[in-house]
């Protein structure tokens, strides 16, 4: 009965009720969105790197190693010798190893020296593999692969040439112009630090820092060669060509054709083989960090202990998941700030609801008098006002859930591509239930103010309305 009377009363004041309902929907939608996205951001943050069991680097601290190896923030204080890398590669518990060499930049974006294993094994989010929006992985030592944000901001495309610079600042006065790299691939957007990096080969980054550069060595060799040697070489070449021509006239035409075909086939096979082996296999002296994948994740703690107690070198091994959770804990204040802002917006909406109910008390004197005349007690009037407030909040919560669910389903792909936020699961979670319960409880408490005013009015109001 009270619910029916409350609904009829709200219909009578439909204009002001709809305005109040709109503010409730906006505030509750914001609160639900912040709470849901907060959980998704925490999960996505802890899954910035996925599928990597152990990260190995110099003993610089767990968070520092995580920051420069995954987020490209900070500088490695020391490297890992290739002999130690070889030890890890041959370890019976290690499935794959991805080396990372850091220290250079390109127009403000970090340059990462690595191998094609990075594009095969590095994953993010819910174990999503890296994919190429254009081109492919490294084809030669001078190949480069750029992230989606690098390509978008600098306007690069496949086959463009880039030059890396020494140091990590936005402005560098030492550019490695003698060693340009050719872009062979552009990664698809991931919403992770992978979008903001330029990837080059390990041998390529080693060549950049080698002195002198290969091009300068060739130029120096060509200049320093004596003129007599050039004349002698030209004479030897001419004599050799003459002898070959003389011998060639004595060959049978059929044999010459077969030999030419065989030569063409061998040349074609050599070109095809060279295309596959253009990447140098020469190891670098050292790398900045290593990403390890294990054959069994159960052995992660055991291998971490072995690496941290390695006798031949000082190494640090960290578990990415543990380090990411620790880093997220340091960012908890920002998370609480967002939640606090949403709560304040909700409270402002509830204050508007209370104001609406209080403003109608003078207009509802006659209504309260009629209810008293038909036998309604003061307590009934109190519960009637609270029922109206709870109905408005309940409808607002339902509409908010529908609105937020539609928004997440529409913008899920955009959130994933732009911010790496992977929207998974349903909005109907325990956290959502807690939010709705809190909203209804806050509404019930706030409604006591107009309800008590209606109760007092009901005690002293007669049919005359005086």
Give the residue numbers spanning the domain of 455: 2-46+332-460
**96 alpha carbon, distance to own chain's centre:** 23
Residue 255: its pLDDT value, please? 45
Closest listed residue to residue 118, CA positions, set 82, 175, 63, 70: 70
Whether 293 and 398 share a structural domain: no
The yes-or-no verdict on residue 81 having pLDDT over 60 is: yes
Q: What percent of the chain has pLDDT over 70?
A: 76
Whether 59 and 24 share a structural domain: no
Whether pTM > 0.95 for this model: the answer is no
Q: Alpha-carbon torsion 138, 141, 143, 147, what sign?
A: positive
Phi and psi angles of residue 333, each rounded to the nearest 5 degrees, phi first:
-65, -40
Q: What percent of the chain has pLDDT over 90?
A: 32
Whether 302 and 340 share a structural domain: no
Give the residue-averaged pLDDT of 201-205: 91
> How far is Cα 317 from Cα 54, in angstroms, rounded to an integer?
6
Whether 40 and 60 share a structural domain: no
Q: Highest mean pLDDT: which of 41-50, 311-320, 447-456?
A: 311-320
Residue 320: its pLDDT value, please? 92
The last residue of a domain, from among 262, 295, 318: 318
Closest listed residue to residue 105, CA positions, set 73, 78, 61, 148: 73
Whether 7 and 94 share a structural domain: no
Reported as half-sphere exposure (CB side, CA atoms, 13 A), residue 296 has a value of: 5
Contacts of 166 (CB under 8 A, 6+ apart): 103, 104, 172, 174, 175, 176
Whether 165 and 192 share a structural domain: yes
Higher pLDDT, 436 or 273: 436
Whether 355 and 439 share a structural domain: yes
Inside any domain, residue 61: yes
CA dihedral 100, 102, 104, 108 (to 10 degrees): 90
Inside any domain, residue 20: yes
Whether 170 and 83 share a structural domain: yes
Q: Highest mean pLDDT: which of 109-123, 177-191, 323-337?
A: 109-123
Inside any domain, residue 230: no
Higher pLDDT, 432 or 56: 56
Residue 226: its pLDDT value, please? 40
**73 alpha carbon, distance to own chain's centre:** 14
> In whole numbers, what is the pLDDT of the chain averaged over residues?
78
Segment (H or E) for 270:
helix 253-276
Residue 132: its pLDDT value, please? 96
> How far is Cα 185 from Cα 421, in angstroms, rounded to an integer?
24
The yes-or-no verdict on residue 48 having pLDDT over 50 is: yes
Q: Alpha-carbon torsion 437, 427, 40, 326, what sign?
A: positive
The yes-or-no verdict on residue 225 having pLDDT over 70 is: no
Instruction: Let me know: does 287 contact 82? Beta carbons within 8 Å.
Output: yes
> How far is Cα 288 from Cα 388, in angstroms, rounded to an integer?
65
Burial of 91 (0-12, 13-18, 19+ CB in 10 A): middle
Inside any domain, residue 107: yes
Closest listed residue to residue 194, CA positions, set 285, 118, 94: 118
3-state SS assignment for residue 100: strand
Inside any domain, residue 429: yes
Q: How many domains does the chain have?
A: 2
Residue 198: its pLDDT value, please? 96
């Amino acid at each position: 009965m009270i619910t029916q009377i409350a609904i009829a009363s709200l219909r009578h004041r439909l204009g002001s009720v709809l305005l109040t309902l709109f503010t409730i929907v906006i505030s509750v939608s914001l609160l639900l969105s912040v709470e849901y996205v907060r959980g998704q951001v925490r999960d996505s943050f802890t899954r910035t790197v996925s599928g990597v069991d152990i990260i190995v680097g110099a003993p610089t601290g767990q968070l520092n190693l995580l920051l420069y190896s995954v987020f490209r923030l900070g500088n490695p204080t020391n490297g890992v010798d290739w002999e130690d890398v070889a030890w890890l590669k041959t370890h019976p518990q290690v499935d794959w190893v991805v080396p990372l060499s850091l220290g250079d930049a390109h127009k403000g974006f970090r340059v990462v020296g690595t191998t094609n294993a990075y594009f095969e094994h590095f994953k993010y989010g819910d174990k999503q593999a890296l994919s190429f929006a254009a081109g492919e992985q490294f084809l030669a030592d001078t190949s480069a692969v750029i992230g989606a944000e690098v390509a978008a901001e600098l306007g690069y495309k496949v086959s463009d040439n880039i030059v890396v610079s020494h140091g990590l600042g936005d402005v560098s006065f030492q550019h490695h112009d003698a060693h340009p790299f050719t872009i062979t691939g552009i990664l698809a957007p991931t919403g992770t630090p992978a979008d903001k990096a330029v990837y080059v080969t390990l041998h390529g980054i080693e060549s950049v820092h080698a002195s002198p550069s290969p091009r300068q060595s060739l130029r120096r060799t060509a200049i320093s060669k004596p003129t007599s040697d050039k004349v002698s070489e030209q004479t030897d070449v001419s004599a050799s060509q003459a002898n070959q021509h003389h011998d060639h006239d004595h060959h049978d035409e059929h044999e010459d054709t077969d030999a030419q075909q065989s030569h063409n086939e061998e040349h074609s096979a050599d070109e095809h083989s060279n295309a596959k082996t253009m990447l140098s296999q020469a190891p670098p002296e050292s790398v900045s960090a290593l990403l390890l994948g294990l054959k069994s994740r159960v052995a992660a703690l055991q291998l971490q202990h072995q690496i941290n107690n390695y006798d031949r070198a000082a190494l640090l091994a960290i578990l990415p998941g543990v380090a990411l959770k620790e880093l997220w804990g340091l960012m908890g204040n920002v998370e609480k700030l967002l939640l606090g802002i949403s709560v304040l917006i909700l409270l402002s909406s509830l204050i508007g609801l209370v104001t609406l109910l209080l403003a109608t008390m003078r207009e509802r004197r006659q209504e309260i008098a009629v209810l008293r005349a038909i036998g309604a007690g003061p307590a009934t009037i109190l519960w009637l006002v609270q029922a109206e407030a709870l109905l408005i909040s309940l409808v607002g919560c339902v509409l908010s859930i529908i609105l937020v669910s539609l928004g997440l389903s529409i913008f899920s792909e955009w959130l994933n591509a732009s911010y790496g936020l992977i929207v998974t699961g349903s909005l109907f979670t325990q956290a959502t239930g807690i939010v709705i319960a809190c909203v209804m409880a806050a509404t019930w408490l706030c409604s006591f103010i107009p309800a008590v005013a209606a109760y007092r009015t009901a005690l002293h109001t007669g049919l005359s309305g005086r």
